[in-house]
């Protein structure tokens, strides 16, 4: 028998051999309409429902894009803020202020003692001018190299 | 409802109502067209949804240069061909042959309800290149005229006839190998 004749004339072969899952085809229309944002049953009220606005169709992608950028920017900003906050000591942290005061006292007492020992008279409004050699000599007599290093790093 | 009536509804501004009638009239038919192209029900369902989303978005641009029916088939066919193309690209990375995979999938598909000859025919169709397959399905199963397939696929009638002839010979050869 001719195969070509078989394929063309066998009605059984032209029958669709696939099945759809149970209930799939029955709910197909409803699912597609809901996908498009149309609720079945409301179609009869079509004449009172305005058709999709042209501007809405045009601006919707741009609006979604802008919102996405805004969201990404906001998240990025939030993360940066959070990171900075984590790196920076909290404003309410008492120990931080205590340390700062301590550092300030060390600095004040250090400079104060230099000012006192070197006895500068014109130390009012103008910035003091120190003789480098004199300062170095004074420091060498007053502090050990370890103490100087400690003071240097504390100030830094 | 006739296609012209649906177009009339659309033209009178009743877009949603026109779309509802399109879905009612064509969703099942397009599902089976897509299903025969991609075989797997879940893939067919995804593609059908994509198709109708495109129809919904492109409806304002429908200019009646083609029939509503061929326009819908064109969108569904293009979506299916795009899917098969992507599947083939993905398969190159996994060293698989999507046509062979599809043929073996039919054998184990619980939603396949045919006899051995139908199984062999479907396996033969699965081995066809995507465009040839779509031509064969539209002509053989849906009995769509060449002129309409030409409109759907944007290929000349002569080229379509040649494509169908090639597909037919391949199917015949496959069935002969299977012992039919």
Query: CB–CB of B41 and A38 under 8 A?
Result: no
Helix (H, G, I), strand (E, B), or coil: what is residue A43?
helix
CB-closest option in A21, A31, A43 to B17: A43
Nearest CA in chain B to A52: B15
pTM of the model: 0.62
Number of domains in chain B: 1
Do A65 and A111 sit in the same domain of this protein? no
Model confidence at A98, in pLDDT bands (50, 70, 90)?
low
Q: What is the largest CA-CA distance in chain A?
A: 127
Q: How far is Cα B102 from Cα B105, in angstroms, rounded to an integer?
A: 5
Helices (H), B12-144: 15-38, 41-58, 68-93, 98-108, 116-126, 130-136
pLDDT at B160: 95
Which secondary structure element, helix H or strand E, spans residue B103, and what is its range? helix B98-108
Instruction: Please check whether residue A121 lies inside any domain of the structure.
Output: yes
User: What is the reported pLDDT for A95?
Assistant: 61
**Interchain CB distance below 8 Å, B172 and A17:** no
Task: Please report, for residues A145, B69, B86, B101, B172, the alpha-carbon distance to residue B73 in angstroms, rounded to integers and kept in the order given.
Answer: 90, 6, 20, 26, 26
Q: Which residue of B has its CA nearest to A38?
A: B16
CA–CA distance, B159 with B146 (Å, rounded to integer): 10
Residue ranges, chain B, pLDDT below 70: none
A105 and A78 in one domain? no
Q: Which of A43, A66, A87 is the last residue of a domain?
A: A87
Q: Does A13 map to a domain?
A: no
Residue A73 and residue A101 share a domain: no
What is the total count of domains within chain A? 2
How far apart are the C-alpha atoms of B177 and B180, rounded to whole Å? 7
Residue listed under structure tokens 């993360």: A79
**Domain hosting residue B166, numbered range:** 3-177
Q: Looking at CA atoms only, how far is residue B1 from chain A in angstroms?
A: 15
Q: How confident is the model at residue A44 (pLDDT cuts 50, 70, 90)?
A: very low
Residue B74 to chain A, least CA–CA distance (Å): 18
Question: Can you give the pLDDT at residue A3?
Answer: 44
Contact residues on chain A for B45, CB-CB shorter than 8 A: 24
Whether residue A146 sits in one domain with residue A126: yes
**Same domain (yes/no): A80, A104:** no
A82 and A112 both lie in a single domain:
no
A81 and A110, same domain (yes or no): no
Domain boundary among A63, A87, A111: A87
- pLDDT for B91 equals 79
Task: Please check whether residues A71 and A110 belong to one and the same domain.
Answer: no
pLDDT at A42 over 70: no
The CATH number of whichever domain residue B131 belongs to comes to 1.10.1740.10
Phi and psi at residue B110, to the nearest 5°: -65, -15
CA–CA gap between residue B14 and residue B106 (Å, rounded): 42
* Chain A residue closest in CA terms to B106: A18
ipTM for this prediction: 0.82
Segments forming the whole domain that contains residue A72: 25-87
Query: In chain B, at which residue ranges do the beta strands (DSSP E only) sit?
Result: none
Residue B39 pLDDT: 92
């Amino acid at each position: 028998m001719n195969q070509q004749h078989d394929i063309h004339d066998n009605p059984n072969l032209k029958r669709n051999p696939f099945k759809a899952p149970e209930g799939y085809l029955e709910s197909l229309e409803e699912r597609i309409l809901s996908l498009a944002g149309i609720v079945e049953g409301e179609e009869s009220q079509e004449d009172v429902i305005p058709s999709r606005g042209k501007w809405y169709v045009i601006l919707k992608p741009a609006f979604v894009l802008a919102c996405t950028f805004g969201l990404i920017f906001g998240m990025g900003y939030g993360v940066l803020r959070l990171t900075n906050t984590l790196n920076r000591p909290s404003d309410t942290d008492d120990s931080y202020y205590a340390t700062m005061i301590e550092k300030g006292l060390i600095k004040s007492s250090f400079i104060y003692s230099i000012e006192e020992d070197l006895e500068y008279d014109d130390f009012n409004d103008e910035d003091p001018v120190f003789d480098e050699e004199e300062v170095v000599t004074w420091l060498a007599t007053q502090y050990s190299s370890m103490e100087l290093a400690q003071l240097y790093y504390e100030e830094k | 409802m006739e296609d012209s009536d649906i177009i009339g509804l659309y033209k009178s501004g009743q877009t949603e109502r026109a779309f509802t009638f399109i879905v009612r009239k064509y969703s099942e038919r397009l599902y089976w067209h897509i299903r025969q192209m991609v075989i797997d029900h879940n893939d067919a369902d995804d593609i059908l949804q994509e198709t109708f989303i495109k129809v919904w978005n492109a409806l304002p641009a429908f200019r009646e240069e083609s029939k509503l029916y061929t326009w819908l088939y064109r969108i569904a066919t293009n979506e299916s061909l795009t899917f098969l193309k992507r599947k083939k690209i993905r398969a190159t990375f996994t060293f698989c042959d999507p046509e062979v995979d599809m043929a073996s999938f039919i054998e184990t598909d619980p939603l396949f309800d045919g006899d051995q000859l139908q199984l062999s025919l479907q396996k033969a169709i699965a081995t066809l290149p995507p465009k040839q397959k779509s031509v064969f399905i539209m002509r053989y199963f849906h009995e769509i005229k060449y002129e309409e397939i030409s409109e759907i696929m944007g290929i000349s009638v002569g080229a379509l006839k040649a494509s169908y002839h090639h597909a037919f010979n391949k199917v015949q050869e496959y069935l002969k190998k299977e012992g039919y």
